[in-house]
């Protein structure tokens, strides 16, 4: 059988053309999966951790960082295989280079992304949260929180409502709540240390008494 001269890709395909194309596609998808998998997983874990502050999610995020670094190196190896195979079968240079550049950029982006997510995770761990719940039958007027170099004005809290304040301690010290609803001023915490996350649930009762539940991250 006489074959007319053609491109290197046409000459190399023959009956095995489809498997070669499929092999390139598999290598490209694997490289993209190594790049996008850790990014998507890390983002989901970080978002859930900010909402829940569950310790198990912090551990899962740390494991994802280590696995992501390993997958990035695997993705680079796969990408090198794609490059050499694409050259061998004669894949157009423009398409070959575009695939390599995009995949490599995504793979390398995992490193600054991992650093950023780790920083945001640490920030979530170190934040302090104060929930003020009005369990009385009258509104709390001019509710204010102050301490540790921070202050917040929560305004009016209706009966049965809850207001939340998130903050990062600027210095060590106590934390106090004041409100005009019962002419109440009370210390929530005698000492809060910078860098230690905590969650205070403050309940103002019917007679103005204040109950504080404290949890540490």
User: pLDDT digit string (tens) for 8-39?
Assistant: 334 344 344 444 578 899 999 999 999 999 99
Work out the mean pLDDT of the chain and round it to a whole number: 85
154-180 mean pLDDT: 88
Backbone angles phi, psi at 39, to 5 degrees: -65, -50
Predicted pLDDT of residue 6: 38
Q: Contact, 79 vs 35, CB < 8 A?
A: no
> Across 126-135, 171-180, 185-194, which has the greatest mean pLDDT?
126-135
Predicted pLDDT of residue 214: 85
160-170 mean pLDDT: 89
75-103 mean pLDDT: 92
pLDDT confidence tier of residue 184, bands split at 50, 70 and 90: low
Predicted pLDDT of residue 22: 86
Predicted pLDDT of residue 8: 39
Predicted pLDDT of residue 47: 95
Q: What is the pTM of this model?
A: 0.72
134-148 mean pLDDT: 88
Predicted pLDDT of residue 133: 92
pLDDT at 137 over 90: no
Percent of the residues in the chain that have a pLDDT greater than 70, as a whole number: 88
């Amino acid at each position: 059988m006489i074959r007319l001269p053609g491109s290197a890709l046409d000459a190399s395909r023959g009956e095995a053309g489809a498997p070669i194309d499929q092999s390139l596609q598999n290598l490209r998808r694997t490289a993209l999966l190594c790049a996008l998998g850790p990014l998507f997983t890390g983002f989901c874990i970080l978002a859930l951790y900010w909402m829940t502050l569950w310790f198990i999610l912090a551990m899962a995020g740390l494991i994802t960082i280590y696995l992501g670094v390993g997958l990035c190196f695997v993705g680079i190896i796969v990408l090198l295989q794609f490059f050499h195979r694409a050259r061998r079968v004669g894949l157009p240079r423009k398409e070959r280079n575009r695939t390599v550049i995009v995949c490599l950029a995504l793979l390398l982006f995992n490193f600054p992304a991992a650093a950023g997510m780790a920083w945001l995770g640490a920030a979530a761990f170190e934040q302090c949260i104060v929930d003020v719940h009005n369990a009385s039958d009258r509104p709390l007027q001019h509710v204010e929180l102050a301490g540790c170099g921070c202050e917040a004005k929560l305004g009016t809290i209706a009966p049965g409502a809850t207001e939340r304040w998130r903050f990062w301690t600027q210095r060590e010290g106590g934390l106090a709540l004041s409100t005009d609803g019962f002419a109440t001023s009370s210390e929530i915490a005698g000492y809060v240390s910078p860098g230690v996350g905590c969650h205070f649930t403050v309940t103002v009762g019917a007679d103005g008494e204040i109950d504080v539940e404290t949890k540490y991250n």
